[in-house]
Amino acid sequence: MFNFPRYRGHGRGRGAHTPRRDAALPSDRHILVGLSSNSLQAIPNLSTQSSDKEVKITDIRYAGSYNWMEKPTPTIIIPGSPARWSNRATPYQVHPDDGVAFKDQNGYRCPNSTLLPLIVAVDYMSNADHEEFDWAAIDFVTDRNSLRKLLRWIGGGASDFRIDTQLAGKTILLNRWENRYKEQMLGNTFGFNFERASTTTAHGCEGSTGHHRIIRYDLNGLKMVVRFEVDACIPTVTPESSVTTPRSVSPSTTNFDDLIDALSGVSLGTTSSTAPLPGVGTFPNITIIKGGTVVPQSSLVELTTRSIRNENSFDWKESYPQLFLSQTPHHFLAVHQYGHFHKVNKRKLDSAELNEVAAATIQADLKKLKRALDYIKELVVKHGERGRLSLVCQEGELRVFERTSQASCLPDDILQKFDL
């Protein structure tokens, strides 16, 4: 949705925010915590060649989705739903944001296994359609956030970041790493409260704290599974032909036997117990609640707010990849003066304006991203399934470190899904 001024464009995981100050936020983690003292090598910022093909995303398919719930133990609504854009008439006044907001809700709720809810949601939806998701055919499983960080490094504007990698079969798992899971808002932004004032909660998702969607696509030959957070959707009653849309359901915790059948052996909890289940070890239980409904990809909206003085200096080089890498088709830029919103500029990803932006400023970096992903894949595969490599960017240099722990980012029974 929006980003904090000092981290603008460098982190999301918005979800819900708590309207109060919280003096108990933990201190930041050091970016090199848990890593070997010396790096293995640097990753070069690979140049492109005239023969490099234009980077395109094709064969886009919905894979899964979920909403987080504010519960004592990790609890998700599947398939969940984004908030509905209400198309409220302007002008209207919005109070400043204050309190605590998520920077990375998946990391906060599943700190040892940030990709686990992604796998669970995809398998659940696949089994609901009487299919089995072919994880072994995927090259990368990642958050959109990690791809954006790599793009910023390629473009020379990256803040320090870290991405933890692991090989599963022949698939590269890119695990998001943040120095903090929550942010303290300072009362000088309006994005959260604008969203609250401009959307309505989907039926069956009351009390949820953020909607995450997972899609699969082909990125110039790389088979990608990408998770991203969705701000809103345009209400529609017409299901997308390429997506099997289940009926809307009210929240109800699934029966344990039904859950096990649906997830083909994934060990999950259906209560708020924190005791590990067999085969899960120290990884968190995830309670599944059935609720919401799948919405068409064509209805997804990215919401952004800007003050009237910054409207004309909006950075599309920073924001376009956010839309492109998740194929979010709608971008709504809400313009305000001290929280008084007087217009919403609506653009489409496939518009002539944004196509021009892509051709002029983004396509060269996307070609380098494709080369970088190929390089990373070769490197991680070389170190094998026992390898524990982390990509660390400091002062614009991206280096490779080994982690000192052999801990896996996914349980063994989940990793088996990636075996050929």
pLDDT in tens, 67-86: 999 999 999 999 999 999 99
Question: Which residue type is seen at 207?
Answer: G
Looking at the predicted structure, is the pLDDT value of residue 277 above 50?
Answer: no
* Token pair 């969607």 in the structure block, residue: 213
Looking at the predicted structure, is the pLDDT value of residue 252 above 60?
Answer: no
Question: How many other CB atoms are there within 10 angstroms of residue 378's CB atom?
Answer: 10
- Tell me the pLDDT tens digit for each residue of 145-177: 999 999 999 999 889 999 999 999 999 999 999
Looking at the predicted structure, is the pLDDT value of residue 272 above 60?
Answer: no
Question: 149 in a domain, yes or no?
Answer: yes
**Predicted local confidence at residue 13, as pLDDT:** 42
- Tell me the pLDDT tens digit for each residue of 338-357: 999 999 999 999 999 898 88
Question: 35 in a domain, yes or no?
Answer: no
Question: 151 in a domain, yes or no?
Answer: yes
- Tell me the pLDDT tens digit for each residue of 390-414: 999 999 999 999 999 999 999 999 9
Quote the domain boundaries for residue 152. 5-19+40-418
Using CA atoms, how far residue 221 sits from 59, 217, 226, 374, in Å, is 11, 9, 15, 10
**Predicted local confidence at residue 48, as pLDDT:** 86
Question: 32 in a domain, yes or no?
Answer: no
Looking at the predicted structure, is the pLDDT value of residue 325 above 80?
Answer: yes
pLDDT-derived band at 16, boundaries 50, 70, 90: low
Residue 113 CA to residue 106 CA, distance in Å, equals 9
Using DSSP's 3-state secondary structure scheme, residue 250 falls into: strand
Could you tell me if 125 and 63 are in contact, meaning their C-beta atoms sit under 8 angstroms apart? yes
* Token pair 């614009």 in the structure block, residue: 396
pLDDT-derived band at 250, boundaries 50, 70, 90: very low
**Predicted local confidence at residue 53, as pLDDT:** 92
pLDDT-derived band at 220, boundaries 50, 70, 90: very high
What's the rounded mean pLDDT across residues 118-122?
A: 97
304: which strand partners? 333
**Predicted local confidence at residue 186, as pLDDT:** 83
What's the rounded mean pLDDT across residues 27-54?
A: 93
Using DSSP's 3-state secondary structure scheme, residue 25 falls into: coil
Looking at the predicted structure, is the pLDDT value of residue 264 above 50?
Answer: no
Residue 207 CA to residue 281 CA, distance in Å, equals 29
Question: Which residue type is seen at 215?
Answer: I
More confident residue, 121 or 243: 121
Whole-prediction pTM value?
A: 0.87
Question: 25 in a domain, yes or no?
Answer: no
**Predicted local confidence at residue 280, as pLDDT:** 31
- DSSP string for 85-154: E--PPSPEE-PPP-EEEES-HHHHHSTT-TTHHHHHHHHHHHHHTT----GGG-SEEEEHHHHHHHHHHH
Cα 377 versus chain centre, distance: 20
**Predicted local confidence at residue 263, as pLDDT:** 42
**Predicted local confidence at residue 237, as pLDDT:** 61
**Predicted local confidence at residue 17, as pLDDT:** 55
380: which strand partners? none
Could you tell me if 199 and 85 are in contact, meaning their C-beta atoms sit under 8 angstroms apart? yes
Cα 379 versus chain centre, distance: 24
Residue 239 CA to residue 129 CA, distance in Å, equals 16
Q: What is the mean pLDDT of the chain?
A: 86
Question: How many other CB atoms are there within 10 angstroms of residue 152's CB atom?
Answer: 21
**Predicted local confidence at residue 247, as pLDDT:** 38
CA-angle at 323, arms to 170 and 112, nearest 5°? 45
Using DSSP's 3-state secondary structure scheme, residue 178 falls into: coil
Question: 124 in a domain, yes or no?
Answer: yes
Question: 27 in a domain, yes or no?
Answer: no
Question: Which residue type is seen at 68?
Answer: W
CA-angle at 108, arms to 104 and 112, nearest 5°? 110
The share of the chain scoring above pLDDT 70, in percent, equals: 83
Q: At what angle do helices 363-383 and 144-155 cross, to 10 degrees?
A: 110
- Asked if the bond preceding 91 is cis, omega within 30° of 0, the reply is yes
**Predicted local confidence at residue 381, as pLDDT:** 98
Of 108, 118, 82, residue with least CA distance to 11: 108
**Predicted local confidence at residue 15, as pLDDT:** 54
Radius of gyration of the chain (CA): 21
According to DSSP, the β-strands at 140-143 and 222-230 are: parallel
The total number of structural domains that make up the chain: 1
Could you tell me if 245 and 80 are in contact, meaning their C-beta atoms sit under 8 angstroms apart? no
* Token pair 């052999």 in the structure block, residue: 406
Residue 34 CA to residue 42 CA, distance in Å, equals 19
What's the rounded mean pLDDT across residues 246-256?
A: 42
Could you tell me if 136 and 170 are in contact, meaning their C-beta atoms sit under 8 angstroms apart? yes
Of 113, 167, 174, 170, residue with least CA distance to 138: 170
Question: 331 in a domain, yes or no?
Answer: yes
What's the rounded mean pLDDT across residues 38-61?
A: 92
Looking at the predicted structure, is the pLDDT value of residue 11 above 60?
Answer: no
